[in-house]
Amino acid sequence: MTHNSTILRPKIALYEPDIPQNTAAIIRTCACLGAKLEIIEPCGFLLSDKRFKRVVMDYMDYSQIEFYQSSKKFFESKKKQRIVLMTTKGSTNYTKFKFKPDDTILFGRESAGVPEKIHKLIKNRLKIPMSNKVRSLNIASSVAIVLAESLRQIELI
């Protein structure tokens, strides 16, 4: 599948990811769906990690990835763009939200989400509704679900 790179598409941002296999799976999803991936460092692993390489395979060659040295640099670069935070603490269902083509959809660390100071910076905090008996979905699954919905809404899939 090829994607026109001149068309605005949502971006996925990961806040200090700490599980290499999840980040690799997200890279594959973004490559397949034509979304840019933005990684806010520090990462909890090296890109040379064998667990990362096993999952990412050759999808790095098909992906657009930008690294930010800190959350401060990330937010400075997004001053004129809308950031949407996916969080289990969100009050709005992601399917009830109107995504825009240039949104950046931010996901927190697998182990801890994002700090409260970042929650306070972001107006749009969404959730994926789940059974009350469980804590959360795997982040790679969550990215696929929300990215697909955002692309559907803006009619890119």
CA 3-32-154 angle, to 5 degrees, is 55
Q: 99 in a domain, yes or no?
A: yes
Residue 23 within any structural domain of the chain: yes
Instruction: Print the domain residue range for 24.
Output: 11-153
Q: At what angle do helices 20-33 and 139-153 cross, to 10 degrees?
A: 20
Q: How confident is the model at residue 5 (pLDDT cuts 50, 70, 90)?
A: low
Query: Is 119 strand, coil or helix?
Result: helix
pLDDT digits (tens, 9 = 90+) for 106-157: 999 998 899 999 999 999 999 999 988 888 899 999 999 999 999 999 987 6
Note the pLDDT of residue 61.
76
The answer to whether position 93 is within a domain reads: yes
* pLDDT tens digits, one per residue of 81-108: 999 999 999 999 999 999 999 999 999 9
Which of 36-50, 57-71, 110-124 holds the top average pLDDT?
110-124
The number of folded domains in the chain is 1
